[in-house]
Structure 1
Amino acid sequence: MSTGLRSGIYTGPVFHRRLRPRVHALRYRLFMLLVDLDEWDDLVGRLRWLGAGRFGLMTMRQSDHGDGSETPLKVQIEQRMRDAGLATGGRVQLLTLPRILGYGFNPLSVYYCHAQDGRLSAILYEVSNTFGGRHSYLMPVGAASGPVRQAVGKAFHVSPFMDMDLTYRFEVDPPEGVEAEATRVSITVDDADGPMLLTGFSGLRSEMTDANLRRAWLGHPLLTLKVIAGIHWEAVRLLLKGLRLRGGVTPAHPVTVGGPSETSTGVHHA
């Protein structure tokens, strides 16, 4: 029986393939939670395996996202949208990894931001690095149907093996409502010579219930530890392949705002 929740669990593969200067690839499975921010309190209040701010099998903390403050996350996201002149007033859904046994790390969390009339107004990509930094790319969504395609210049240092003069191209199948059986986020990283890195996640939906949360954990018991361990192990492998370390910069603003499609070049900060 359906729970009627817009929130859900998405399970599937993550892939990462570097094309240049050394070919390098990895692929593994994980699960992510899609949390409708209007349902946050209800979810952590009624689900045994999904706590809020306490140690447990899985934990969700709003302070793990946004500016890290106690300001409600939806208030933060909608303020960023208003600062960028984007329509707000609808649901905001967050696709992210939970903390597992108290530990959490999210290389990428994705917010699907809707206007009051229900249309998808923007997608916000919240990127974290292993040095404790966090930056967001807020991308308006155009009126075209089908996958959402967006592009923006890199503004935040993530991998020590990647230069800053790069472009991110996103292709997204948003999880539209409880009938959405799948979602997908793909990212192509381009330099002046073309694509150099392909990465992404695709997942199939299950209902947000205690039984399904327990099943997801049993299939991926060390989820966030696996993510951070994988990042560092892959760094070792890249060093052994001869890649040199690059320096990075700290953006002056917490949010980079880009255009609605991959043909847009305008970028400003909020």
Structure 2
Amino acid sequence: MTPAGTRSGLYAGTVFHRRTRPRVHALQYRVFMLLLDLDEWDGLMKRLRWLGAGKFGLMTLRASDFGDRSDTPLKTQIATRLAEAGIEGGGPVQLLTMPRILGYGFNPLSVFFCHAADGRLSAILYEVSNTFGGRHAYLMPVDQTPGPVRQSVDKAFHVSPFMDMDLAYRFAVTPPTGASGEVASVAITVEDAQGPVLFTAFHAHRSEITDRNLLAAWITHPLLTLKVIAGIHWEAVRLLLKGLRLRGGVTPAYPVTVGAVSEPRGHHA
């Protein structure tokens, strides 16, 4: 059983990608992600049989897979970034990410939901990784208007070898708050001067983070992270066969881009 008041959870759902230019290309696959409250991290590792912090296991999480790869605790790293950006912190920080499966892990996108001391969502940090070993974070303040969080920022990190750098991201996020049965979603539209180039979204439903639910998720999503990285390379082959050309550029560091205040919630990307 999950202790009462636990903010962490398990989100199972679907990832959808659609490229609109220069060739139409779409794919969809099932995934699950974990929402880990950083204050609950150690307790979860001790309590759950199927989720650990070691080098190998059915499912594992390593703090070094996130942030700047240093020994500084993740919550301290986030607090430092928030303070440097002049964003109010002091409350819970929750990480939405995929665990390592049988020791292997790759997360194209991990999302930190950062709260102020009074519990308000004050910022979202989008941590992007590419298959070349690079990692970049976009730290975006959040306004308090009801509805999905809508944000935008210029692209500052090379991710796909098929996409140029002169692009912008528009985010539309339904943040998780910890209520049982809640829906969470993260949608990203990639645009250039002519309009949308790519749309990608993760949409999922919450369940309690228990050993039973973890095992069920593993059984219904076998070799999750291996499937993701294999899918990335398989789709790259398909795009090459459709005539797309590779773009260059590798960014192995971990810079953080700080965005402006959230777009008005009524704006639609």
Q: TM-score, normalised by structure 1?
A: 0.95
Tell whether the 8 Å contact from 1:138 to 1:257 is kept in structure 2 after alignment: yes
* Cα distance between partner residues in 2 of 1:177 and 1:216: 19
User: What residue is the counterpart of 1:101 in the other structure?
Assistant: 102
Letter in 2 for 1:6: R
Aligned to 1:11: 12
Match of 1:245 in 2: 246
2:10–2:33 contact (8 Å) kept in structure 1: yes
- Alpha-carbon offset, residue 253 of structure 1: 6.3
TM-superposed deviation, 1:195: 0.5
Query: Shift of residue 181 of structure 1?
Result: 1.2
Cross-structure match for 2:267:
none
Q: Which runs of 4+ in 1 moved over 4 A?
A: none
Q: Compared with structure 1, are the counterparts of its residues 227 and 253 closer, same or farther at alpha carbon in structure 2 (3 Å cutoff)?
A: closer
Q: How far is the alpha carbon of 1:22 from its aligned partner?
A: 0.1
Q: Are the aligned partners of 1:89 and 1:115 in contact in 2 as well (CA < 8 Å)?
A: yes
Q: Secondary structure at the match of 2:23?
A: coil
Question: 1:200 offset after TM fit, Å?
Answer: 1.0
Q: Which residue of 2 aligns with 1:267?
A: none
1:1-22 per-residue CA deviation (whole Å, 9 max, x = no partner) reads: 6532110000000000000000
Q: Distance in 2 between matches of 1:179 and 1:59?
A: 23
**Residue 266 of structure 1: aligned partner:** none
Residue 119 of structure 2 is aligned to residue 118 of structure 1 = yes
Partner Cα separation in structure 1 for residue 127 and residue 168 of structure 2: 16
Asked whether the 8 Å contact 1:168–1:188 carries over to 2, the reply is yes
Q: Secondary structure at the match of 2:146?
A: coil
Match of 2:173 in 1: 172
Unpaired segments ≥5 residues, structure 2: 265-269
Shift in Å, 1:192: 0.5
Matches within 5 A, 1:121-200: 121-179=122-180, 181-200=182-201
CA-to-aligned-CA distance 1:155-194 (integer Å, 9 cap, x gap): 0000000000000000000001234611000000000000
Shift of 1:252: 7.5
CA shift at 1:247, angstroms? Answer: 1.5
Supply the distance in 2 between the matched residues of 1:129 and 1:98 (Cα, whole angstroms). 17
1:215 paired residue number: 216
Corresponding residue for residue 230 of structure 1 = 231
| Partner SS state of residue 198, structure 1 | strand
Same amino acid, percent of matched pairs: 73
Counterpart amino acid of residue 152 in structure 2? A
CA contact (8 A) 2:132 2:252 kept: no
SS class of match (2:40): helix
Q: CA 1:84–1:251 in structure 2 vs 1: closer, same or farther (change >3 Å)?
A: farther
AA of the residue aligned to 2:200: T
Q: Deviations over 1:193-230 (max 9, x none)?
A: 00110001011001000000000000011100000000
| Residue 249 of structure 1: how far off its partner (Å) | 5.3
TM-score (norm 2): 0.95
Q: How do 1:77-96 residues align onto structure 2 when only pairs under 5 Å count?
A: 77-96=78-97
Per the alignment, do residues 251 and 81 of structure 1 end up closer, same or farther by CA in structure 2, a change over 3 Å counting?
A: farther
1:175 partner amino acid: P
For residues 58-110 of structure 1, the C-alpha deviation after alignment (integer angstroms, 9 at most, x for no partner) is 00111100011121111111111111010010000000000000000000000
1:56 corresponds to which residue? Answer: 57
1:202 maps to: 203
Can you give the 5+ residue segments of structure 1 that lack an aligned partner in the other structure? 264-270
Q: Secondary structure at the match of 2:83?
A: helix
